[in-house]
Every structure is written in C-alpha cells, then in structure tokens.
Amino acid sequence: MEQRINTEVWKALIRAFLPFKGRDVISILDFTREDLEELFERADYFLEHRRSYRLLEDYVVALAFFEPSTRTRLSFETAAKLLGAKVIGFTSEEGISIAKGESLADTIRMLDAYADIIVIRHRYEGAALFAAEIAESPVINAGDGKQHHPTQAMLDLYTIRKLYGSIDGLVYGVVGDLRYGRAASSFIYGLTLFKPKKVYLISPPLLRARPEVLEVLKERGIPFEEVTKVDEVVEEVDVLYVTRIQKERFPDPLEYERVKGSYRITIELLKRGKEHLRVLHPLPKVDEIEPAVDTSKYAAYFTQARFGVPVRMALLILIAGVEP
Amino acid sequence: MNPQTASLTVSKIRNGTVIDHIPAGKALLVLRILGITGKEGFRTAVLMNVESKKLGKKDIIKIEERELTSDEVNVIALVAPSATINIIREYNVYKKLRVQIPQIIRGFIKCPNPTCITNRGREALKARFKVIKRQPLLLQCVYCGTIISQEDLEKQLVM
Ligand SMILES: [Zn+2]
C-alpha cells in the first residue's frame, strides 16, 4: 500500500515538473497554453543551436506512416536524427502492405516492441488515439484522417509567436477546406488555447468547420464568424491561414470552378490588408496562393515549414524527459 | 385503482425488473438499448400509453428473472431520462434505482462517421461516446470527434 502511494506521489511530481514526459500527443486540445509555452522555449533553443545532439541516443523512434506524407515524415525524421535517435518505420506503400489483412492494433503492438516513441499517420479518424491505447510507448499523432494534426498546430502557433511576439490579440482568417482539412481544424483548436481577438472561418458553405470544432470555439468563448469570401475580411485580419480546397470535395465540378476564385490569395488582395499581414500555409500548396506572393513580405509559409524541425525536436525531448 | 390500470398491472412479477415512467412511445427504444429482442427467453411485458399522474401517459416494461445492472440502467437515461427502475425479489421491491446519464457510453452506439477507426471492421474496438451536453443530449465520439444528437441516436436505435 505504502509502495503504491509513493508511486502515485512520484507520478504526480513527474506530471508537475515534467508535464510532457511519457505523454501521448493526440490532439492539440490535450495541451494547455503553459505546456505550449514550455515547448516553444525548447524550440527557441533548438532554432538557435542548430546542430546534432546525443540526447536521444538510446531511443528508437518509429515512424508509422500508413498514409502518404513527405513533409511531415521528413520533418520528424530530421528532428529525431538530429537528437541522435534511431529511426525505424515505413511509408505509405509498405504501410499498406503491412496493413493488408493485419489490424492496426497488431501493427502497433509490433512497433511498440521496438520503439520508445511511435509517430503515426493514418487515414482513419481516431487511429492515433486507438494506437495510444494499445502501445505502452508514447504515441504522437502525425495526422488522423480529417481530425487532428497536433504537431502542425504547434509549429503554426510557434510561427505566429515568432512573427508577432504573441498569439493573443490578433485577428485570424482561416481559409479553405475547414471541413476535411485536419491542419485547419487543428489550427483553430490551437487558437482556442490562447486569446485571439477574433477568428474568421472563411470557406464555401460546403466546407464549413465541423460542428465539434465550432462547439469548442463556443465553449471556450472565442469570438468567431463564418464567412464565405476572403475579400470580406482581408482588411481586418493579421494572419491568413490558407489551406487547399480540393476539387474532389465538390459533387459538382462546376460549383468548384465557380467558388475557387474567392479563396485564391493574390498580391492584389493582400495589398488591401494591413501592413503586417502575413500568410501561413501548412504546405504543400498547389494554386491557392499566387506564385508572386511567395517572394513577397506576406509569405510566412516557408519560414513556418522551417520551424517544423525545432518544434518537433522540442516535443521529442520533452516526451523523453531529457534536457539539452 | 381504475379498472383499466388494474387489468394491465395484474401480472405482478416475482423476480426481475420493472422499468416505470418511460415517456409514452419510448418503451421499444428502451428495449433496443438494453438489447432485449425477446429471443433471450425470459418473460417480458411491455405496457404502452398507460395513464400517469406525472407524465400524462407513460410506458412500462417488466422483465422477469432478470435484474438490470446499474450500467444498463444508466443507458436507459439516454432515451428515457424520467424512467424509474424497481428491482423485484419475491414480489417485493428490493431496490429502487434512478437513471442517470453516464459520462461515457460504451458499446451499443455506432459512430455514424464511416472513416472513424471504430468502423474499421478489422479492429477489435467498440465506439465510445462522451456526453458533452445533457439537455438537449449531445454525445461525442471519443475517437473521431463526431457529435450526435438525441434524434440521431434514436434513429439509429430504430434502424
Ligand atoms: Zn467516431
């Protein structure tokens, strides 16, 4: 009994002083603002001290990508390798053949036997949570269907903090496919941990944010408004978070052709905005942003992508419970 | 006692459960939620549209030789929050239970989202719902976040 109490006390102490240690990363909503601030401080360190470390020398990080991804996978792989971890895993094609006939549960059990941290991307919503329930090692969700992409949200918020010094008090416009896009949903969830002045949800009616996302905004008292054109709010926003609208989402291709222009970000449009207006995008982008924007002061998305590595390095060491 | 109720409540049960004060018309949903189809073998009486002082009209279910567990009792609250449950032993009320909407509901509700991991046939996994609002009832799939209302739930139970 006494032994048990001690373990409980010990666990509570670890939670208090090392809130990330051993933790699963399923949704950005599992975190507090304080957690993220701690994460961002570590990310600052890795951004300033870009070199390789031996902090995770004894660690195996498994990258289980059941769905195609180049950016997120490379970003995790680079982060893990810079920390000295051994990286194992598979990408979508192997993932499909592994998954053929085998349950996700069995694949996770196998990876759990090898790895100290499991990073998973899967087509099904809830796959990462399910994996976390099975695995003893901490699980990081690198995208589950249309639902969550918490590490993307972390680096998005980190980018805004870097650009503006604070995430609070700004007006945000989240543009594109808010219904099926996990980056957009996760970004909106992430904003609810802070105090945005206002969040505009800008999408065609067909691709509005899902009810559960709006529920969180309401519950947390975030001022928000659903609009259908970037045009309507461009003068007011400080940050435009742009995501791709896929043609396939529209039952009628003509409807897509008719609306797509309302979500295209051009230099012309941005010039109407505030002086310090910046555009973020989780990438890859196709034609939702005019190429001329890429080399303008408005484009923050390449910097944003670069922050993926230090933010993920920070997350990995915090989960492992080690310090640089 | 008026003659009508008398004729309907004569069949006192010896051992089992009486679920009373079910809103009129919801008795079959309650049976669905409990997974009672009639094939289980125990005698079950369903009384519908019985006069009630509290509800105007109500349904009653009597199940012989089966005592409901408190988990079973609580899921009844999803469709019949006013229901009261009496566990009967040797013709007497052995225990009275009030239904209370649980915080987490396991098992019997299917997630309507086709790409929810709980609908991937290969996994040994049952949907789990969190109650996010009691009045009006809103349930959220723990895995995929999909929200379902009382109406969605009842539709699913009828199907
Ligand atoms: Zn679900």
Helix count (H) and strand count (E) of chain A?
A: 14, 9
From the list A318, A256, A254, A317, the residue with the least C-alpha distance to A286 is A256
CATH placement of domain B16-98:
3.30.70.140
- Residues 6+ away with beta carbon under 8 Å from A82: A46, A51, A52, A53, A309, A313
Burial of B141 (0-12, 13-18, 19+ CB in 10 A): buried
A14 CA to middle of ligand 1, Å?
A: 32
B141-152 mean pLDDT: 95
Across chain A, which has 324 residues, the per-10-residue mean pLDDT values are: 64 75 96 96 96 96 92 96 96 68 90 97 96 97 97 98 98 97 97 98 96 97 97 97 93 89 95 97 95 98 97 97 88
DSSP per position, A38-91? HHHHHHHHHHHS-S---TTTT-EEEEEESS--SHHHHHHHHHHHHTT-EEEEE-
Check: CB of residue A280 under 8 Å from CB of residue A160. yes
DSSP per position, A112-168? HHH-SEEEEEESSBTHHHHHHHH-SS-EEEEEETTTB-HHHHHHHHHHHHHHHS-ST
pLDDT digits (tens, 9 = 90+) for B62-92: 999 999 988 888 889 888 988 999 999 999 9
Check: CB of residue A69 under 8 Å from CB of residue A95. no
Interface of A with B (CB under 8 A): 102-105, 122-127, 129-130, 144-147, 210-212, 215
Residue in chain B closest to A26 (alpha carbons) equals: B143
Please report which confidence band the pLDDT of residue B2 belongs to, taking 50, 70 and 90 as the band edges.
low
DSSP per position, chain B? --HHHHHHH----SSEEEEEEEETT-HHHHHHHHT--STT-S-EEEEEEEEETTTEEEEEEEEET-PPPHHHHHHHTTT-TT-EEEEEETTEEEEEEE----SEEESSSPPS-TTBGGG-TTS----EEEEEEETTEEEEETTT--EEEHHHHHHHHH-
Residue in chain A closest to B120 (alpha carbons) equals: A124
CATH placement of domain A150-306:
3.40.50.1370
Domain with CATH 3.40.50.1370 in chain A: 7-149+307-320, 150-306
What are the residue ranges spanned by the domains of chain B? 16-98, 104-156
Please report which confidence band the pLDDT of residue B42 belongs to, taking 50, 70 and 90 as the band edges.
confident
To test the contact with chain A by mutation, choose from B113, B137, B142, B144 the residue with the greatest count of A C-beta atoms within 10 A, namely B144
Instruction: List phi, psi (to 5°) of A65.
Output: -100, 95
Locate A260 and state its tokens. Answer: 């797509």
- Most confident range (mean pLDDT) of A16-25, B14-23, B39-48 is B14-23
| pLDDT at position A1 | 47
| pLDDT at position B35 | 84
A135 CA to middle of ligand 1, Å?
A: 20
Q: What separation in angstroms does the CA of A96 have from each of A65, A103, A129, A132, A275?
A: 9, 11, 20, 20, 47
* pTM, 2 dp: 0.90
Q: Is it the case that residue B5 has pLDDT exceeding 80?
A: no
From the list B49, B48, B31, B50, the residue with the least C-alpha distance to B158 is B31
Burial of A98 (0-12, 13-18, 19+ CB in 10 A): middle
| pLDDT at position A99 | 61
* CB spacing of A105 vs B132 below 8 angstroms: no
* CB spacing of A146 vs B115 below 8 angstroms: yes
| pLDDT at position B71 | 80
* CB spacing of B146 vs A212 below 8 angstroms: yes
**Which residue in the block uniquely carries the two structure tokens 């808010």?**
A178
| pLDDT at position B6 | 47
Q: Strand B44-52 to strand B56-64: parallel, antiparallel, or no bridges (unpaired)?
A: antiparallel
| pLDDT at position B129 | 95
Task: Find the CB nearest B115 among A129, A145, A212.
Answer: A145
Query: Can you name the CATH fold of A7-149+307-320?
Result: Rossmann fold (3.40.50)
Query: Can you name the CATH fold of B104-156?
Result: SH3 type barrels. (2.30.30)
| Shortest Cα–Cα distance, A147 to chain B (Å) | 7
- Residues 6+ away with beta carbon under 8 Å from A292: A266, A267
Locate A181 and state its tokens. Answer: 């896009």
| pLDDT at position A95 | 63
| pLDDT at position A102 | 83
Please report which confidence band the pLDDT of residue B135 belongs to, taking 50, 70 and 90 as the band edges.
confident
B29 CA to middle of ligand 1, Å?
A: 22
Give the 3-state secondary structure of residue A177: coil
Give the strands of the sheet with B92-98, arranged side by side: B44-52, B56-64, B16-23, B84-89, B92-98
Check: CB of residue A306 under 8 Å from CB of residue A104. no
CA dihedral B120, B122, B126, B129 (to 10 degrees): -20
